[in-house]
Structure 1
Amino acid sequence: MTMHMSVLASGSTGNAIYVETEDHAFLVDAGLSGKQMELLFQQIGRSMKNLSGLLVTHEHSDHIKGLGIVARRYGLPVYANEKTWNAMEPLIGKIDSEQKFIFPMESVKSFGSLDIESFGVSHDAAEPMFYVFHQNGKKIVIMTDTGYVSDRMKGTIGSADAYVFESNHDVGMLRMCHYPWNIKRRILSDVGHVSNEDAAIAMSDVVGDNTKRIYLAHLSKDNNMKDLARMSVTQTLQERGYVVGEQFELHDTDAKVPTELYAI
């Protein structure tokens, strides 16, 4: 059995990630308009009609902008923890009760041979959490929107075959940018976003022999660049003894263009 994945969109303007097995297909977040979501699915040769459900990480608009529209249009089950449901319900419009499912933090839901594990992160939302997909010994980790990566989180996400890993900002660019200081302070805080360097340090603690691909995700459009993120992460990983490009590959993500479907 094979899992496939695509980072449909990633960045401060909208986030959506697709994971499928032979029997199930899930969308993690729907942070773009319904029309944009449909176009992204067309680009990877898939249809939202075949989704098994929507998994929500937290209630910020760049993760739920199209959630209500997509859920209603396709009659999809929506999974989120209780605090996230309470926070996002006023923002997504009416969802039928039979489409609402509670997915508690630090728990596992099974869909045939696929197990989906939720874990908490440190971000300024009601109860933010991300997901690990497990099937037949293979493992996909999705983790963005966290101010730091704790030892508890590292224990959950270690030795995955593929990672979607936040590499949000370059600290120097952020300090020099036009943002008000309170916004800069929030991004740099423990409930903000991890920098390129901090992301790489965390990666160096969790990658394993099975790790083949890391997607650098949720790049700030004002305070990062793809080339800079890749260079910074590569340099830090190599300082810690990893050979990027041989042991595993780093891949870009984009706010508007999906990554190719990758088989795991």
Structure 2
Amino acid sequence: MMQFSVLASGSTGNAFYVETTKHRLLVDVGLSGKQIEQLFQQIGRHVKDVTAILVTHEHSDHIKGLGVLARKYQLPIYANEKTWKAMEGLIGEIPTEQKFVFPIGAVRSFGDLDVESFGVSHDAAEPMFYVFHHEGKKLVLITDTGYVSDRMKGIIKCADVFVFESNHDVEMLRMGSYPWHIKRRILSDVGHVSNEDAALALADVIGDQTKRIYLAHLSQDNNMKELARMTVEQMLASKGFVIGEQFHLYDTDPKIPTKLAYV
């Protein structure tokens, strides 16, 4: 069976873990190596058992501890070519034998776990996220995108589990203290998905087998767990979805991992 945990999610750092009986993958290392080790302890796992690290893009809240962790445990790293180039000088020297290219729009098999990469719209070199397939089950991880296109929806639709960006409340962002150029970036097509846009996108991709949705990458300054959940719940309910019966909504946290759960 496939299990997963959102180890950390938010504007301060991101990391995601997924495992089968044969392989254990870590997606992004947006916290220090020590913090990642502590998060693994909280879910009863150890970094030394990780098969590989997958990278989504080069922003610091996704690669902060990548080099340190990979060197300490001699872990292979997978990223696309443009992301590898963008990470130069940011993660230190990585031995050649630990560097692997995972092209955008490709599928890589890690034993009994097939991982599909797909592009998103974000202000990074070539950002991409992942769909995990195992024994007919489908787990989607998608954050750090300014919008969810029809192409993305076609790739991620009908997943058993979604870990889905719900970054900001538009009014909180507009009324907040961020400089205008930062607000404009977040609200743009290469920024982040709002609570409202997350709900609208989810309404198009939820399937009969969808059981869990995790609202992820919430802004520390421009969102709140309760507000994100309420907004998404209300908008999905208005479209006829029955939250709590058809599927359940879950929070994520920048410091506390979600419980290890089966897909």
TM-score interval w.r.t. the shorter chain? over 0.9
Q: How do 1:209-228 residues align onto structure 2 when only pairs under 5 Å count?
A: 209-228=208-227
Q: Say whether 1:13 aligns with 2:12.
A: yes
2:112 is the alignment partner of 1:113: yes
Mapped to 2, the partners of 1:75 and 1:261 lie a distance apart of: 24
What SS does structure 1 have at the residue aligned with 2:29?
coil
CA shift for structure 1 position 114: 1.0
The residue aligned with 1:168 is: 167
* Secondary structure of 1:251 counterpart: strand
Root mean square deviation of aligned Cα: 0.4
What is the Cα deviation at residue 200 of structure 1? Answer: 0.5
Counterparts of 1:77 and 1:113, CA distance in 2? 18
Match of 1:33 in 2: 32
> In the alignment, which residue of structure 2 is the partner of 1:63?
62
Aligned to 1:237: 236
Q: Which residue identity is paired with 1:82?
A: E
Q: Deviations over 1:118-145 (max 9, x none)?
A: 0000000000000000011100000000
User: Which amino acid in 2 is paired with 1:34?
Assistant: G
Equivalent in the alignment of 1:104:
103
Question: Could you tell me which amino acid in structure 1 is paired with residue 167 of structure 2?
Answer: N
Q: Aligned runs of 1:190-209 on 2, under 5 Å?
A: 190-209=189-208
What is the distance in 1 between the residues matched to 2:88 and 2:160? 34
- Corresponding residue SS for 1:92: coil
1:140-170 CA distance string (max 9 Å, x none): 0000000000000000001001011000000
1:112 deviates by 1.5
Q: CA deviation at 1:89?
A: 2.0
- The answer for the alignment partner of 1:189 in structure 2 is 188
Runs ≥4 in structure 1, deviation > 3 angstroms?
A: none
Per-residue CA deviations over 1:32-67 (Å, capped at 9, x if unaligned) read: 001100000000000001000000000000000000
C-alpha separation in 1, matches of 2:73 and 2:192: 32
Pairs aligned (count): 263
- CA–CA separation in structure 2 for the residues paired with 1:70 and 1:29: 11
Cα distance between partner residues in 1 of 2:111 and 2:53: 17
Q: How does 1:52-91 map to 2 (within 5 A)?
A: 52-91=51-90
Aligned-partner Cα distance in 2 for 1:55–1:89 = 16
CA distance in 1, matches of 2:129, 2:26: 12
SS at match of 1:90: coil
Q: Which amino acid aligns with 1:73?
A: K
- Name the amino acid aligned to 1:190: D
Shift of 1:111: 1.4
- Pair 1:133 & 2:106 matched: no
**Unmatched tracts of structure 2, length 5 or more:** none
| In 2, Cα distance between equivalents of 1:184 and 1:34 | 30
Q: Could you list the per-position Cα deviations for residues 80-116 of structure 1 after superposition, in whole angstroms to 9, with x for gaps in the alignment?
A: 0000000012100000000000000000001112100
Q: Following the alignment from structure 1 to structure 2, what is the Cα–Cα distance between the partners of residues 83 and 98?
A: 18
1:145 paired with 2:144, answer yes
**Residue number in structure 2 paired with 1:246:** 245
CA distance, structure 1, for counterparts of residue 140 and residue 89 of structure 2: 29
Rounded Cα–Cα distance in structure 2 between residues aligned with 1:132 and 1:16: 15
CA distance in 2, matches of 1:90, 1:214: 36
**CA distance, structure 2, for counterparts of residue 88 and residue 232 of structure 1:** 36
How much does 1:235 deviate? 0.5
Distance 2:49 2:135 in 1: 22
Q: 2: CA distance between counterparts of 1:111 and 1:182?
A: 41
- The gaps in structure 1 that reach 5 residues or longer are none
Share of identical aligned residues, percent? 73
